[in-house]
Amino acid sequence: MTHDAQAPLRPHIPAAVRAMAAGLLLALATASQAGGAAPAAVPVAQPALDRLFDQAMARYRLPGLAVGVIEDGQVAYVRTAGELAAGSGEAVDADTLFKIASNSKAMTTAVLARLVDAGRLRWDDPVTKYLPQFRMHDPWVTANIQVRDLLIHNSGLGLGAGDLMLWPEPNDFTRADIIAGLAHLRPTHSFRSHYAYDNLLYVVAGEVAAAAGGKPYEQLVREQVFAPLGMDRCQVGGWSRAAVGNVAQPHMRQDGRNVPVREDGAVIPDSPSMAAGGIRCSVSDMLAWMQAWLQPDPARPWLSDEQRRAVWTLQTPMPVSRRMRDWDGTRMYGYGYGWRISDVDGEWKVAHTGTLMGMYSSLVLLPDRRSGFIILINGEGEQARTTLGEALTKRFTRPDRPGLDVDHYAGLIAAQERQSSATAARKPDTSSRRAVASAELKAWEGTWRDPWFGEVRLCPQAGSVEFRAIRSPMLHGRVMRVGGRLLVDWAEASVDAEPWLLFSGQGAQRRLRLEHVDPDADFSYDYPDLDFAWTGPCPPS
């Protein structure tokens, strides 16, 4: 039986980190005795960070949390709490693996940057030089899209286009399926004219790296990133859960409790989403990754200065939200190669977040300070990530404002939500839903096919009608009626974005489209990109 138990809120500081801190103190003492210059920054006070950590853990009742802070190039703070899976009694520690989700993108671009340094590819090479089978919907774009365009969300595709080939996992789409499917995804904007976040082109980027490097993507990541930077616990590709051990599981809130969902099996597969968001790392690994960017070793350069500048150069402008303006005074915001670039309180910020079902991460670097932090959460932690991340940032950029803590930003979010709910109710009320009897949907029963997503079935099941996606087994549920409309009530609770079913045409010309019930649902449920044609009756039961 699972329950909402959590491990004690105690710091876990690895021996390596303690040794690093001791070395730092010794160096500072020696410099002081020798009359050397004072350090550029004072190490962050641990009690103040403990308070922020405790606020986030308690306010959001997280199943597990890991935080690491670097100041002036040195690890200043590591703290973990909670459990790998609620009720397991297995504590999260500094070596626990979390899904870092889209923070994987910067590791993919690092592999590409290393290949550029090695002369194996150029950022402005056409994608078809490495993947001759690659096609976009527009032949001109196919011929002109470059490696760099795969990384900066300017392809003309809509937000999250084709993500249903990646998530929810598991499914049986392959990297080859994704590359083939891109030809069927219609653009929503002109090429290079508009920012819209996508994941599929990072899968393509991983395959470009494999072609240029002459090795599978996962092998390149291990050789070019993990091994030289000492990221010993990170995992990519397929691996054994038992052999690796200490793996955090995702959670969702149900009836006020943290409940594990989509738990790993004995073997974690090499999923197609690896290059876009499939890598797992510990907080210790992520601190090593951060130090490689904040304090590179000039004696053993891992990446040239030219390529460091390339990945951290703003390529595609992004809209600055009102929250960013109000909280951070942000005036500039855009995407580099796998990194988001902005200004916060007048300082340069390089960052990214990661979001997968039941897993949240946030990495923030302030390069001019050689400082930053990493947050890893294995539960529903969007607001926890936002408030804790903002409070940690202000520890550096606004030390004169000690009241800018987790509770402060939680209060601002609550006020914004109250204002939003008072002015608009975007999600319709579907509480009157009832299961549709087979006879009601007789004209639309059968098999349907989309050119990139494949086959779905609308077929009788125990007196009602079931929607089932053949290649994405978690997408199955009963068809329900709400007034004059039809929706799918997914059987899997962790699939949390329901679609309306929209039918048109007659006979062999029948068509089926999907539309979000909740207009604010996760964009990776990219229902609007689907266009099903009726292909025949239901198979015999």
- Between 73 and 5, the higher pLDDT residue: 73
Q: Where is 466: in which H helix or E strand?
A: strand 464-469
Average pLDDT over residues 442-459: 98
CA separation for the pair 364, 495 (Å, rounded): 29
At residue 303, the pLDDT reads 98
Q: Is the per-residue pLDDT at 21 higher than 50?
A: no
Model confidence band, residue 419 (pLDDT cutoffs 50, 70, 90): confident
User: What confidence tens digit (pLDDT) does each residue in 158-183 have?
Assistant: 999 999 999 999 999 999 999 999 99
Looking at residue 423, what is its pLDDT? 55
Helical H segments across 34-60, by residue range: 46-60
Tokens of 463: 């007196």
The answer on pLDDT for 393 being more than 60 is yes
- pLDDT tens readout for residues 356-369: 999 999 999 999 99
pTM here is: 0.90
Least confident of 34-38, 43-47, 101-105: 34-38
- pLDDT higher than threshold 60 for residue 41: no
pLDDT of residue 18 exceeding 80 = no
Give me the pLDDT at residue 158, please. 97
**pLDDT per residue as tens digits for the range 459-511:** 999 999 999 999 999 999 999 999 999 999 999 999 999 999 999 999 999 99
% of the chain exceeding 70 in pLDDT: 91
Residue 213 has pLDDT above 90, yes or no: yes
Question: For residue 73, what are the contacts with CB-CB under 8 A and spacing of at least 6?
Answer: 291, 294, 295, 370, 371
pLDDT surpassing 70 at residue 17: no
CA angle 444, 448, 449 (to 5 degrees): 160
Question: What are 502-541's pLDDT values in tens digits?
Answer: 999 999 999 999 999 999 999 999 999 999 999 999 999 8
Mean pLDDT of the chain: 91
**CA 448/CA 520 separation, integer angstroms:** 27
- What pLDDT is recorded for position 299? 86
Q: Using a CB cutoff of 8 Å and minimum separation of 24, what contacts does 408-412 make?
A: 409/327, 410/59, 410/383, 412/327
Looking at residue 425, what is its pLDDT?
A: 63
Look at residue 448 and tell me whether its pLDDT is greater than 60: yes
Higher pLDDT, 307 or 298: 307
Q: Report the C-alpha gap between 161 and 201 in whole angstroms.
A: 10
CB-CB neighbours of 358 under 10 Å:
25
The answer to whether the beta carbons of residues 84 and 234 sit under 8 Å apart is: no
